[in-house]
Chains A and B, each alone.
Chain A
Amino acid sequence: MTAALRPDASDLGLIGYYLGKVLLGLGVLQLIPLAVALAFGEWNSASSFAIGASIAVLIWALSDALLATRRSLTWAHGMVIVALSWLFGAIVTSIPMLLSGRFSGPLPALFESMSALTTTGMSVIHDLDHTPISEDLFRHLLQISGGLGIVIVVLSVFSAGGARVSTLYVSEARDERVLPNIIRTARFIFQVASTLFVVFTSALFVALLSGGFTPGRALYHAVNLFFASFATGGFSVMQASMIYYHSPWVELLVAFVMLAGTFSFGLHLSLWRGSATEVFRHLETRTLALTSLVFFALMTFGLLRAGSYDSLEPLLRKGLFTLASAVSSTGHQVNVGDTYLYDWGVLAPAAIVGAMAIGGMASSTAGGIKAMRIGIAFKAMTHEIRRILLPESAMVITTYHAGKPQVLRDQTARAATTVLLLFIASFLVGAVVGLVYGDLDITQTLFESVSVGANIGISIGVVSPEMPSGLMAVYIVQMWLGRLEFVAVFALLGYVAALARGRAGA
């Protein structure tokens, strides 16, 4: 394609063809809760999953029969496919949610599925504590699929070759290719997830058994806990979230899984290959460690000053766990949401907001601005300060370690700060829209907006089934933008504008 061709039917056909494959993946995924529903005699749930899966498979079959093509994907196509995949994926998976009767309408059902896929973990479900097993499992399956990256996972499985889908990898907010081949990258991600699944689900199973669970219920909770934690999603089987377990061992194991989820798959590969030093030298690890330390100090000081807790155990089990949940962008809660507002003073929630905004590592399952961007933005700032302070003739070079020693380039710094600013803009817009509704103050709206926009999921109580529809719609967009880190969605908007004008960049 040349640079200014009108997107025509063949472009849309190409996009539709790949979208169909993604929806097929989400349709096949629904066969798992369908089987569980049949096994447990949850007949209404089974029929809702049959409908959801059938719609997805129908769309795929039609797109496969009518739109199959051997054309290569351009970057514009890739971006548009990814942006639409997450939107259409959320719409299609919201159908069984809507049919479950646990949501007040199509918008809350879409909120739930978008929250699940983007691994935000905010929920607007009614009566979670009596939810059928299959429906609960479906929510958690969506989280792990979204955490691993639905587009790349599905296309790696259903596409013939990696070359054609490699453009989609970066579009799905994965800017670090772990292995040269995209299929091998996807397989490595599966390998890591599968290994950790076996190890941590077993450990959680034992911890839950010793905590008083029956074997069947322990397995059910362990599987869902792993999905929600490794995906850094934060959904829970019970409304009480982590409070429900009353177990420091479960909290400790979940904290490890959350941290594993927030580690980039590049660093997982380094650990896999026995190169632990790479982990400690990486700019992202150092940034995350440093910022977490600062936020932990602030939070601890805030909690002690407010008198919220007066001994070490609560500081660790309530404070440190919440911070880990925020940093990893998981959103598991060991406190009822109101606690952050009414019982944590002012400074500690502010520290949590800061940690949530930064989030985890790039190319992981985590959300947020990402430690890499914060590290690069900090390096760029010190670079500028050094440039000003040193003589004009001095050549200022700033380096950092990310896989290998790298020189900080203007383009890298610009890209990092642009996304950083876009995240901040998203946080502020969400906070202001929340204020417009009148009943909330800035502490609440900013906390919730950062949590939603960074795909974290810790709630101060704004998100609920009864929240205003307008705010819910804004949060859905924030989750979508945050997960794709803006670029793919902006590309989609550009594509739509070009369609309207009659041209598109290729």
Chain B
Amino acid sequence: MNPSRPSAPTRWILLGTIGAIVLTILGAVWLEAVHPQLDTDGNRVEGVPPLATTDVPSCRRTVDSEPISRIRETFPRGGRVGSVQIYACPAAYDGLTVSYVGEVVGELLPRDGGAWAQVNDDDYALVTGPVVGHREHAGFNTGLSVWLDAPLVEDITAPGRPALRGDVVLLRGTILRADPDDGGGITLRATELETLAPPLEIDPPLHVLQVVVAGVLSVLALAATLWAGRVRRR
């Protein structure tokens, strides 16, 4: 035996452990790859106006003043803007009247005179629907904090939840870079609301194979636990 190398049992323990980890991960990857998928074609929201500009210029406060003035001069009053565009250059949109389209998610938080809502304008809201029945990944959720005046709140029927896309709404209002009524947050103070799509309930398909694997593994785990108990008592 070569004294500079691990002994045979040690080697087998190490190789066995690494092999088990790799097999487990590959098994999980395979199981996820065969997850049944829903068709998302029908989830796209119709009637969404185009963005006023598709550019996403960024500007750093005290450093880049050119994009700020350019956006403020060229942005059409009431044009549609995306949340990513606002966050990339908040100073440019401060006080501008814009349109904004997105899905109301979570809960409506009623306060005096209206309610706060989180309105997302990502692909899950406008294109594919929630990631419960499909695997069309589109990154983080992105959206805006929106203040809805009391009459507008009544038009919201259901905010988005797991397996439910909430109302998709077209909002018109004013962007505030540091809203004093929200402790300095970036908000949209909405004055008009139009519902573009009602709530959409998703019925995620059951992954039967995953349920079978879970059942088999649970039985194996139970059997191994009983066996370990017997060995311990001996």
In the complex, B7 has a CB within 8 A of chain A: yes
In the complex, A314 has a CB within 8 A of chain B: yes
Choice from A42, A50, A346 contacting B217 with Cβ under 8 Å: A50
Q: Point out the residues of chain A lying under 8 angstroms from B90, CB to CB.
A: 339, 342-343
- Is B178 a contact partner of A309 (Cβ separation < 8 A)? yes
- Is A7 a contact partner of B182 (Cβ separation < 8 A)? no
- Identify which of residues 198-226 in chain B touch chain A, using a CB-to-CB cut-off of 8 Å: 204, 206-207, 210-211, 213-215, 217-218, 220-221, 224-225
Choice from A106, A126, A238, A318 contacting B105 with Cβ under 8 Å: A238
Complex: A213 Cα to B107 Cα, angstroms: 7
A105-B29, A238-B105, A341-B60 known; A465 vs B162 contact (CB < 8 Å): no
- Is A314 a contact partner of B184 (Cβ separation < 8 A)? yes
- Is B225 a contact partner of A61 (Cβ separation < 8 A)? yes
Interface-side segment among A94-102, A178-186, A356-364:
A94-102
- Is B61 a contact partner of A464 (Cβ separation < 8 A)? no
Complex: A357 Cα to B58 Cα, angstroms: 27
Q: Point out the residues of chain A lying under 8 angstroms from B9, CB to CB.
A: 8-9
- Is B29 a contact partner of A8 (Cβ separation < 8 A)? no
- Is A243 a contact partner of B145 (Cβ separation < 8 A)? yes
Complex: A129 Cα to B28 Cα, angstroms: 24
Q: Point out the residues of chain A lying under 8 angstroms from B4, CB to CB.
A: 501-502
- Is A99 a contact partner of B210 (Cβ separation < 8 A)? yes
- Is A309 a contact partner of B184 (Cβ separation < 8 A)? yes
Main SS of the interface on chain B?
mixed
1/0 per residue A164-196: CB within 8 Å of B? 000000000000000000000000000000000
Q: Point out the residues of chain B lying under 8 angstroms from A104, CB to CB.
A: 137
Complex: A131 Cα to B124 Cα, angstroms: 12
Complex: A64 Cα to B226 Cα, angstroms: 11
- Is B178 a contact partner of A212 (Cβ separation < 8 A)? no
In the complex, B72 has a CB within 8 A of chain A: no
Interface-side segment among B45-53, B74-82, B127-135, B188-196:
B127-135
- Is A306 a contact partner of B62 (Cβ separation < 8 A)? yes
- Is B177 a contact partner of A465 (Cβ separation < 8 A)? no
- Identify which of residues 23-53 in chain A touch chain B, using a CB-to-CB cut-off of 8 Å: 42-44, 46-48, 50-51, 53
Report the minimum CB–CB distance from B161 to chain A (whole Å): 7
- Is B61 a contact partner of A44 (Cβ separation < 8 A)? no
Size of the A side of the interface (Cβ < 8 Å), in residues, is: 91
Complex: A126 Cα to B134 Cα, angstroms: 12
- Is A58 a contact partner of B139 (Cβ separation < 8 A)? no
A44-B206, A65-B228 known; A51 vs B217 contact (CB < 8 Å): yes
In the complex, A127 has a CB within 8 A of chain B: yes
In the complex, A505 has a CB within 8 A of chain B: no
1/0 per residue B124-159: CB within 8 Å of A? 100000111001011111110100000000000000
* CB closest residue in chain A, given B7: A8
Choice from B25, B29, B35, B139 contacting A464 with Cβ under 8 Å: B139
1/0 per residue B166-200: CB within 8 Å of A? 00000000000110101111100000000000000
- Is A95 a contact partner of B24 (Cβ separation < 8 A)? yes
Choice from A46, A91, A130 contacting B161 with Cβ under 8 Å: A130
Complex: A336 Cα to B182 Cα, angstroms: 14
The residue among B31, B32, B63 with the most chain A CB atoms within 10 A of its own CB is B32
- Is A102 a contact partner of B131 (Cβ separation < 8 A)? yes
Q: Point out the residues of chain A lying under 8 angstroms from B108, CB to CB.
A: 212
Q: Point out the residues of chain B lying under 8 angstroms from A127, CB to CB.
A: 122, 124, 130-131, 137-138, 141
Report the minimum CB–CB distance from B205 to chain A (whole Å): 8
Report the minimum CB–CB distance from A88 to chain B (whole Å): 8
* CB closest residue in chain B, given A498: B6
- Is B5 a contact partner of A51 (Cβ separation < 8 A)? no
Complex: A346 Cα to B60 Cα, angstroms: 9
Q: Point out the residues of chain A lying under 8 angstroms from B96, CB to CB.
A: none
In the complex, A403 has a CB within 8 A of chain B: no
- Is A57 a contact partner of B61 (Cβ separation < 8 A)? no
Complex: A279 Cα to B124 Cα, angstroms: 49
Choice from A48, A61, A211, A314 contacting B224 with Cβ under 8 Å: A61
Choice from A65, A213, A251 contacting B231 with Cβ under 8 Å: A65
Complex: A131 Cα to B28 Cα, angstroms: 19
Q: Point out the residues of chain A lying under 8 angstroms from B138, CB to CB.
A: 126-127
In the complex, B59 has a CB within 8 A of chain A: yes
- Is B3 a contact partner of A212 (Cβ separation < 8 A)? no
Complex: A305 Cα to B217 Cα, angstroms: 60
The residue among A53, A88, A212, A466 with the most chain B CB atoms within 10 A of its own CB is A212
- Identify which of residues 217-261 in chain A touch chain B, using a CB-to-CB cut-off of 8 Å: 217, 238-240, 243-248, 251
Report the minimum CB–CB distance from A69 to chain B (whole Å): 12
Choice from B13, B165, B184 contacting A13 with Cβ under 8 Å: B13
Q: Point out the residues of chain B lying under 8 angstroms from A338, CB to CB.
A: 58, 87-88
In the complex, B118 has a CB within 8 A of chain A: yes
24 residue pairs from A and B, CB less than 8 Å apart = A8-B6, A9-B9, A47-B210, A47-B213, A47-B214, A54-B218, A125-B140, A126-B131, A130-B162, A211-B109, A212-B110, A212-B116, A239-B141, A245-B109, A246-B116, A246-B182, A306-B61, A306-B62, A308-B178, A338-B58, A338-B88, A342-B60, A343-B90, A466-B139
Q: Known contacts A47-B210, A238-B106; can you find 4 more A-B pairs with CB under 8 A?
A: A127-B124, A212-B111, A341-B60, A465-B139
Give B residues with C-beta under 8 Å from A: 3-7, 9-10, 13-14, 17, 21, 24-25, 28-29, 31-32, 35, 58-63, 87-91, 105-111, 115-116, 118, 120, 122, 124, 130-132, 135, 137-143, 145, 160-165, 177-178, 180, 182-186, 204, 206-207, 210-211, 213-215, 217-218, 220-221, 224-225, 227-228, 231-232
